[in-house]
Structure 1
Amino acid sequence: MQFKRIKRPVDGVLLLDKPVGLSSNQALQQAKRLYMAAKAGHTGSLDPFATGLLPICFGEATKFSHYLLDADKTYSATLCLGATSTTGDTEGEIVATGEVNVTREQFEWALQAFVGEIDQVPPMYSALKHQGKALYEYARAGVDIERPARTITIHRVRLLELAVPYARIEVSCSKGTYIRTLAEDIGKALGCGAYLTQLRRLATGSFDLSKAVTLEQLEAMSLDARDASLLAADCLVADLPQVALDDDSAFYLCRGQSVWQPGKRPLGDVRLYGRDQRFLGLGEVMPDGKIAPRRLLQTQEKQ
C-alpha cells in the first residue's frame, strides 16, 4: 500500500548551504521533503559542482522570490591557471595547457580590467535558451551557437591567494554574471588560460552564509526546529519602505481596493503591515497618494 506524503502549508525563507554534487533543484527537493512543504522554489541556480548560499522560499514567500533573483551575489572562486576546459570548469575536458609565469602583482593588475560594467558572452554550457532548447544541449551535440554579449557589473574582485597554478579570488557582481566565463577571461588576460575548479556563493543580497544551514543539519533537527530556522517572508523585501495600515484600510486593501493613509511617501512599492505588525504583502504608492494592492499574502482571517 502506498501512503500519500503529507504536505504542509509552510511559509518562510530557508538559507541553505548547498553541498557539492547536487543541482539546485535536487537540493530544493530535499529541503522541501524535510519540511513536508506544499510549495517551494529557489532564488538563483548554482551549478552542481558549486556550493554555498541557496535561499529557498516556501509557500507565500515564493511571491517575493524575484527580489533575490535580481540581487547582487558574492562568490569565492578557485582558478586553475595554465589550462582551459571545454566547459570552463572541472566538469569539462582539458583542451589546452601551458606554462604559468604570473606574479601576484601581475594578477592583481589584470583583475582591475574586470571591475565595473563589462560585456560578457554567456558560455555554451549554460541553461540559456535558443529556439526553445538550452544552450548546453547544443554544446553536448557539438553545435556552437553565436551568443550576444550581455552587460554585467563586477562591483569588486580581489585576489585572496595565489599558489601557482591555483588562484583564489572573491567576486561581488550583478545578476547574470557567469563566474566560469570570468575565470576564462582572466586566464586570457594573463596569457596562460584558466578554468574554474571551485565555486562557493558567499552572499545573495543582504543574506550571507553565516546563518545558512546544511541539509545534514536539517536532517538532524526536529520539524519544530526546522520551522524555527525559517526567516519570515518579509525579509525578502526588507529594503522597501514600510507602511502600517489601520484596521479599516487593511480590511479594504485585502479585498483588492486602493486605500489612503496619512503621510507623504515616494511613489513605488511598499511593504504593508496590519495589526500587530502582521505582514500583508506589497502595495504601490500611486500618484494620487493612494496605496494600491500589488502582491498580498493569502490570509486565513480577514481583518
Structure 2
Amino acid sequence: MTQIKRQKRAVSGWLVLNKPYDVTSTQAVGKIKWLYSAKKGGHAGTLDPLATGILPIALGEATKTVPFVQDGVKIYEFDLKWGSTTTTDDLEGEVTATSDVRPSQSELEAILPAFTGVITQVPPAFSAIKINGERAYDLARAGEQVDMPSREVEIEAFELLAHSDQISTFRVTCQKGTYVRALARDIAEQLGSKGHVSRLHRAAVGPFTDQDAVTIEQIEALELAERDQQLRPLNEAVSHLPEVVLDERQAQLVRMGNPALLIGRNAPIALDEAYATHKGAMVAMGYVEKGQFKPSRVIVAG
C-alpha cells in the first residue's frame, strides 16, 4: 500500500526545546520539523548528545534570525567529576589518566577568577571544529592525533554551586565558542588533579531560558494547532536590537527590499543594526542610514 506523503507547511517561529540526554542536535531538529510538518528548520548552536537543555529551534522564516541567537550569551550548569580525564573530556570517552588529588572548596573558589574574563583554551579533540576541512571528532574517532589550535573565549561569570570529593557543580555564563569540557579539564589540571564533565545542562541561549523550554514529549501530546501556539515570535530573537515601527506603506516598501524613509520626531537617523515591525509582526532586519530603514533580510509573511 502506497503511503501518503506528508504535506509540508510554511510554518515560522522559534521553539525553545529542552533537548533530552543522548540525542544529537540534528536528531532533535529533525523530530521537531516532523512534528510540525515544517518545510524548513535549523538550530542556534549545537548541544552535545550527552548534554541536556536549551536548544533553540528555528522553523521557517525564523531561520533568518539564527545568527542573532547563536551569538547570544549562554549559561551552562555542569558537574566536574574528580579523579580522571577521558579522551572526550566527558563521560563518553575512555579514561586516559587518573589522580588521587581532590581540591578543597576554598582552592576551587580561589582559582575561578583565573577562568573569568577573556581566557585562552584548547578545545577538546572531540569537537565540531574543522581541521584542514575535516571535523576534529571525525579525525579523533579515526585514531588520528589532533592538534587543536588554542582560542580566546570570554567567560562573564563562573560560580561554584556545590562541592564534594567526588563531584563539583558549577554555573558558567559565557560567550559563543566556549567549550565547557575544556574548562573542566583545565581547572582540574591547574589544581594538580584530573577531571571531566559528567553532567552538562544548558540553561540559556541568548533570550531563551529554561523557563521558556518545552520537551519533545510535551509537543507530541498536542494537536497541531496547539503546537503552533508553543512557537515564539521572530521578534524575540532580535529583542536586543532597536525596533523600528513601520506603517503600512513603509512596510510594503521594505517587504519588496526597498528602503523606507522614517518620519516623526523620534525617528532614528542612523542605526548599525535594527529590526522593523508592522502591527507587531517582524518585517525585516536591516539598518538605518540617513533616516531611511534599509532591509538586509526580509521576512516573508506567513
Q: State whether TM-score is above 0.5.
A: yes
Alignment of 1:135-146 (within 5 A): 135-146=136-147
Q: Which residue of 1 aligns with 2:152?
A: 151
Q: Which residue of 1 aligns with 2:283?
A: 280
Q: CA deviation at 1:14?
A: 0.3
Q: Which residue of 2 aligns with 1:220?
A: 221
Q: CA deviation at 1:142?
A: 2.2
Conservation of the 8 A alpha-carbon contact between 1:100 and 1:165: no
Gaps of 5+ in 1: none
In 2, the alpha carbon distance for the partners of 1:28 and 1:239 equals 25
In 1, the alpha carbon distance for the partners of 2:268 and 2:229 equals 37
Q: Does 1:23 align with 2:24?
A: yes
In 1, the alpha carbon distance for the partners of 2:219 and 2:247 equals 39
Correspondence for 1:296 among 292, 295, 298: 298
In 1, the alpha carbon distance for the partners of 2:63 and 2:274 equals 17
Q: CA deviation at 1:190?
A: 1.2
Conservation of the 8 A alpha-carbon contact between 1:283 and 1:292: yes
Q: Which residue of 2 aligns with 1:268?
A: 272
What's the TM-score, normalizing by structure 1? 0.95
Conservation of the 8 A alpha-carbon contact between 2:13 and 2:234: yes
In 1, the alpha carbon distance for the partners of 2:112 and 2:285 equals 40
| Residue type at the aligned position of 2:275 | R
In 2, the alpha carbon distance for the partners of 1:272 and 1:264 equals 12
Alignment of 1:70-81 (within 5 A): 70-81=71-82
Q: Percent identity?
A: 40
Conservation of the 8 A alpha-carbon contact between 1:161 and 1:169: yes
In 1, the alpha carbon distance for the partners of 2:211 and 2:301 equals 32
Q: CA deviation at 1:248?
A: 2.2
Conservation of the 8 A alpha-carbon contact between 2:73 and 2:173: yes
In 2, the alpha carbon distance for the partners of 1:250 and 1:121 equals 47
Q: Which residue of 2 aligns with 1:241?
A: 242
What's the TM-score, normalizing by structure 2? 0.95
Task: Indicate the SS of the match to 1:65.
Answer: helix
In 2, the alpha carbon distance for the partners of 1:270 and 1:8 equals 28
| Residue type at the aligned position of 1:294 | S
Q: Does 1:82 align with 2:89?
A: no
| Residue type at the aligned position of 2:295 | P
Q: Which residue of 2 aligns with 1:197?
A: 198
Gaps of 5+ in 2: none
In 2, the alpha carbon distance for the partners of 1:137 and 1:283 equals 38
In 2, the alpha carbon distance for the partners of 1:224 and 1:251 equals 29
Q: CA deviation at 1:125?
A: 0.6
In 2, the alpha carbon distance for the partners of 1:121 and 1:96 equals 18
Q: Give the CA RMSD over aligned residues.
A: 1.3
Q: CA deviation at 1:206?
A: 2.1
Conservation of the 8 A alpha-carbon contact between 1:100 and 1:164: no
Task: Indicate the SS of the match to 2:152.
Answer: strand
Q: Does 1:96 align with 2:88?
A: no
In 1, the alpha carbon distance for the partners of 2:301 and 2:160 equals 49
Q: CA deviation at 1:144?
A: 1.8
User: CA offsets per residue over residues 51-82 of structure 1, 9 Å max, x none?
Assistant: 00001000011001111111110000001112
In 1, the alpha carbon distance for the partners of 2:64 and 2:126 equals 29
In 2, the alpha carbon distance for the partners of 1:252 and 1:24 equals 38
Aligned residues: 298
Q: CA deviation at 1:246?
A: 2.3
Conservation of the 8 A alpha-carbon contact between 1:82 and 1:193: yes
Task: Indicate the SS of the match to 1:155.
Answer: strand
Q: Does 1:69 align with 2:70?
A: yes
Task: Indicate the SS of the match to 2:10.
Answer: coil
| Residue type at the aligned position of 2:292 | K
Q: Which residue of 2 aligns with 1:37?
A: 38
Q: Which residue of 1 aligns with 2:175?
A: 174
Task: Indicate the SS of the match to 1:185.
Answer: helix
